[in-house]
Amino acid sequence: MYVATKGGERAIGAAHAWLAEVRRGNPDLPELTAAQVEAQLGLAVDRVMAEGSCHDRGLAALAVKQARGDLIEAAFLLRAYRTTLPRFGASTPLDTNAMALQRRISATYKDLPGGQVLGPTFDYTHRLLDFCLAAAGGSPGGAPEAEASTAPSPRVTEMLAREGLMQREAPVEAEPGDLTREPLSFPADRPLRLQALARGDEGFLLSLGYSTQRGYGGNHPFVGEIRMGEVAVGFTPPELGFEIDLGDITVTECQMVNQFKGSRTEPPQFTRGYGLVFGHGERKAMSMALVDRALRAEELGEAATAPAQQQEFVLSHCDNVEATGFVEHLKLPHYVDFQSELENVRTMRASVEAGR
């Protein structure tokens, strides 16, 4: 009996000691440092910051190390830490227009003011395993450098909006809700939806975004613009009354341009799906933008029939910390309920037998 035996506490202690040993792996090999994770597994760190909804590269790297590379476990570690931190206030909105760009591409124009900037991307790499990386040592010859462009890079969506072809987002003066403090209630407004998506699971949003492309709530998307780079984080302490600069963070932003046939109140024009994530998270930002647009179906008077358009469905299931907890809780003992089901099925079988 794995339960009635005493010693659960000892067993747990021993299991966790074993975990620590397995985490360390072969002690003949040098131990991985959190700094190495931060520097060399940067995209894992970025994903953990995004889904852990806490921007701290060092802590995220530590979480990746502690979680043995399990990124959902790492996001959970970061979330559980984040929730204990005192809150000093909210930053002013990020100005991604003023981003120091590392990457900026548009699929809707061949060329545009500010130009296309590929940046450090996997795109157009041939996915051939590079056995040079398997051999330790050596650093790549540096990438060629060009003069930083001083030309402004206006937003594609803004250029369309000036022509009246892109729906303008109505500015919202109201303080946005905070889903980490107040539980979501439905229908949820767009700021809350975007919050949920920004910390949602990349895989879940990727699949939902993909489903919209395959006809489950499609909106004919074009990548208006993806930009990745550093933006300044500003904060206005109430006691000072003016904004101070807290430093720069890297974010990825995606603005999807979607067709819209018009409604009774709105003329035909393009509409926007928006994605923003911590770090370099292009797949996530694009998926988020697709799902954001799909979730706008109702406000734009479109039929909301596909899974990606149902906000209760999407928002209640996109959080991988919640999802993994509940799926994995099935490992906990359930024998009391199973016993009641056993008796139930036995009773039903007996009455079927008796009826024969």
Partner 1 sequence: MSHDPGYNFAYLDESTKRMIRRAILKAVAIPGHQVPFGSREMPLPYGWGTGGIQVTAAILGPTDVLKVIDQGSDDTTNAVSIRAFFRRVAGVATTERTAEASIIQTRHRIPERALREDQILVYQVPIPEPLGRLEPRIAETRRMHAMADYGLMHVKLYEDIARHGHIATSYSYPVMVNGRYLMSPSPIPAFDNPKMDQMPALQLFGAGREKRIYAVPPYTSVKSLDFDDHPFRPIRAPQTCELCGSRDTYLDEVLTDDVGGRIFVCSDTDFCTERQAVREAAE
Task: Pick between residue 9 and residue 28 the one whose CB is nearest to partner 1.
Answer: 9
> How near is the Cβ of 218 to partner 1 at its closest, in Å?
23
Task: Pick between residue 79 and residue 227 the one whose CB is nearest to partner 1.
Answer: 79
Task: Pick between residue 81 and residue 222 the one whose CB is nearest to partner 1.
Answer: 81
> How near is the Cβ of 278 to partner 1 at its closest, in Å?
17
> How near is the Cβ of 22 to partner 1 at its closest, in Å?
19
Task: Pick between residue 188 and residue 251 the one whose CB is nearest to partner 1.
Answer: 188
Task: Pick between residue 13 and residue 25 the one whose CB is nearest to partner 1.
Answer: 13
Give the contacts of 293 (CB within 8 A, at least 6 positions apart): 212, 219, 221, 256, 258, 271, 272, 273
Residues forming contacts to partner 1 in the complex (CB under 8 A) are 1, 3-9, 11-12, 76, 79-80, 82-84, 86, 180-187, 312, 316, 321-322, 324-329, 332-337, 339-344, 347-348, 351
> How near is the Cβ of 216 to partner 1 at its closest, in Å?
18
> How near is the Cβ of 243 to partner 1 at its closest, in Å?
26
> How near is the Cβ of 211 to partner 1 at its closest, in Å?
19
Task: Pick between residue 18 and residue 109 the one whose CB is nearest to partner 1.
Answer: 18
